[in-house]
Each structure stands twice: as structure tokens, then as C-alpha cells.
Amino acid sequence: MSQNENQPQDPQKPPVSGDAQAGAQYVAPKESATSPSPKADNEAPPKPEPEPMREIITPSNKEVIVVAEQVQGQVQTVTLELLGAGRDLANKLGGKLSCILLGHNVREAAQKLIQYGAECVYVADHPELENYRTLPFRRVITDLLQTFELPPHILLLGSTTTGRDLAPRIAAFFKTGLTADCTELDIGPYEHTNKADPDKLGLYPGCLYAIRPSFGESLKARILGPWNNPQMATTRPGVMVPLQPDTNRTGEIREIPVNLKPEDFRLEIAEIVREAQSAVNLDEADVIVAGGFGVGGPEGFELLKQLADCFENGVIGASRKVVDAGWIPYQYQIGQTGKTVRPKVYIACGISGAIQHKVGMHKASLIIAINKDADAPIFQVAHHGIVGDVTQVVPELIRQLKAGQQSGNKVPPQEKSLV
């Protein structure tokens, strides 16, 4: 007797043969559309459809404002980069891009900001603003923003010594959020569903996405603060792309009043000492030849300098490890705790490629790595790699580059390939 013969037949099911039962599945007949379906006594009623989230618009004038930095009337590169990023944000908001410029005799600098994308430049020109001081600059900027009928949507500064000092002061005054050291900026929606803040529940359509690295540069954090405007962020120098300058671009220059108070002069500048730099600024270099522990010692950077000198606008850089060892000054350091650069060519010599270093140079147009270790992490981001000893490879590169030069002209990086 089979196992199925011991089981009683369900009177509601048709009999199934023993051969077919193993693979058969009973399907109950469909009930008539007119016959009511049976409902259990404990069956829960159907859940209602969730109500759409209410849209919350934080009042603003949809203006994106960049706080400019200038030294002796020269606009700093980070400001031009911020104007490039701000142009994209203003387009997505459907607003305008403006700039605040503080200083003395800075009319030409205001025109340059317009060439790089600013539609309006608010200029505070005063002898007391010639050199940066926290309280006078804070006073002028907060006074200006308080005259607006609606606050600007976004306020951006550079993650420089000046920006890191000034931005928190402005954010604290307006009781708004501030995300520091960003590497990306965007505009997008945010649904706030945390019932701990019932008054804030809803959809915020135009949030500033302030994106910055976290957990030792291994993750990206998107930080939002839509509760108050202006939404603020500072960005690393070298990570944003400036617009191409246009001398035909027109814009408005508005002179703004400067009403400083006695309490704004708690700090008195006795003297300003500016270090003379013999090398090209890392931010503006077309070619960077960077050295790590694999160059062997301080004398290894003399060899790297010879390679950098083969190019127009070529300079040397370094990893943190060699700076900590005292082989080269800090101003040459590239990476998370140094400079973020975007050259046309980046030649990494004897650099292992720790993530803290890669975050400072991975956006270079062309990356060439030279390292004895074929498994070094730097090869993961390099476009071209040379496995070999720096002390042997670099002299050969120098020899070939010099042999290819004509009439003593240095090699433009876009016209000569190294590999």
C-alpha cells in the first residue's frame, strides 16, 4: 500500500492518481464574481493608501552666493572653482549666481569674477578690509545678507585658512548648517520621515547636497540641512572645475556699505610676512612630479626636480610620509591633509598610493606611477605604470625628454607623452 492510500481524501478536492500526486498541486476553482468571498472573523481591514508627503519650501531667493578670496587684489583659484560649481547649482535652482568681494581697490578683481561666471558681484571696498580679519569680514557679510527680503539659498566658501575661519561665524549668526571640506556639490530632494520632528515631516525639493569623504576617505557622506537658508558649505581647493573665462560676459557690480563697529577691531594686525615661494603653486601647475618614501631620501627630490624642469609649468610634490620625515617642507604635501590638485600630468615616484594620498590627486588628467612594487595601490588609479626603481627610471625619462626637446624649449604636457 502506498503512503498516499493511508491519507484520507479531501471531499472538496478531486481524486488524484498515485502516479500524479507526487508532482500535482491542487488548484481550487475560481469563485464567481457574484459570490461573496468568505472573510475570517479575525481578518484585518485593508490598509489605507499612504498620504503623499507635504512639500515644504524653505523661503529663499534662489540665489547662490560665493564668498570670494583675494590677496593683494588677486582672486584666489579656489574662488574661480567655486564659481564653476555655483553655476551648476544656480542652473538647477533656476536662480542666479552672485559673489561677495571684500577688500581695498578691488575693482579689477570684480570684473574678473564676472568673466568667470558671476552675474552680480557685491563689492565692499574699504581700507580696513585690505587684509583679512574675522570680525570686520563677518560684519560686512552678515549686514549685507540681512538686507535681503529673502535669504540666499546657498552660500559657499573655500576650505582655506580664511574660509574655515569665516564660514562658522556666518553659519552661527544665521543659525544654519555648515558642511566643511566638501568634494562634491549638488541639488536634490529630501524626504524627512523622522517622526521625532513632526513639524519637519515632508518633502524638501531643493536641498544642497554637500558631499564629503568620511571614514578615512573610504566612504562619501551626503549631508543635508534644509531647515534654514542659506545652506552653507566649504569646498576643498582643487576639486571643482572653473568655467572658461569670457571677457564678453557682462554682469552687475553693486557697491555695498561698510559699517564697522569698535568691537570689530579686537584684533590688530602688526605686520604681515608673506613667504616667498620659488616654485610654481601646486594649484596652478600643469605637471606635478611627486615623490614618496621610495625616492630614498631628501636628495631624491633633486632628481625629481630635474624631471619637473623638463616641462613648462612643472613642479615637485610629495606624500605625507616624506613630509613627516622632514625630507621636504609641508607646502609640497599632496593628499587628505595637504593639497588637492588637478594637473594635466601627475607623475607619482616611489609613492605606494595610500587612500589618503590618492584623494588628493586622483582627478589629474593623466597619472603615471613609478614603483618597484607591482602590487602597489597607486597602480589602481594610474593610467600608465612603470614597475622599476625610481633612481633608474627617472634619469632615463629625463634623458629622453631632453633629447626630444628642440632649441631648448621645454615640453608642453599636452604635446609630449612620457610612455
**Helix, coil or strand: residue 203:** strand
Domain assignment present for 4: no
For residue 60, give the nearest of 172, 187, 166 by alpha carbon: 187
**Highest averaged pLDDT of the listed ranges 3-12, 41-50, 176-185, 197-206:** 176-185
Q: 258 with 290, same domain?
A: no
Q: 251 with 286, same domain?
A: no
Q: 219 with 148, same domain?
A: yes
pLDDT of residue 13: 44
Q: 355 with 228, same domain?
A: no
Report the DSSP beta bridge partners of residue 188: 207
Which residues span the domain enclosing 175?
Answer: 63-265
For residue 353, give the nearest of 332, 336, 329 by alpha carbon: 336
Q: Can you spell out the DSSP letters for 235-249? A: E-TTSS-PPPP-TT-
User: Between β-strands 345-349 and 287-291, what pairing exists: parallel, antiparallel or unpaired?
Assistant: parallel
Q: 102 with 184, same domain?
A: yes
Residue 103 has pLDDT above 50, yes or no: yes
Q: What is the CATH number of the domain that holds 307?
A: 3.40.50.1220
Domain assignment present for 33: no
pLDDT of residue 47: 72
Whether 411 and 405 have beta carbons less than 8 Å apart is answered as yes
Euclidean distance between CA atoms 157 and 76, whole angstroms = 12
Report the DSSP beta bridge partners of residue 74: 71
* pLDDT grade for 46, boundaries at 50, 70 and 90: confident
Q: Can you spell out the DSSP letters for 140-197? A: HHHHHHHTSSS--SEEEEESSHHHHHHHHHHHHHHT--EEEEESEEEEEEEEE--TTS
Residue 172 has pLDDT above 60, yes or no: yes
Number of domains in the chain: 2
pLDDT of residue 404: 80
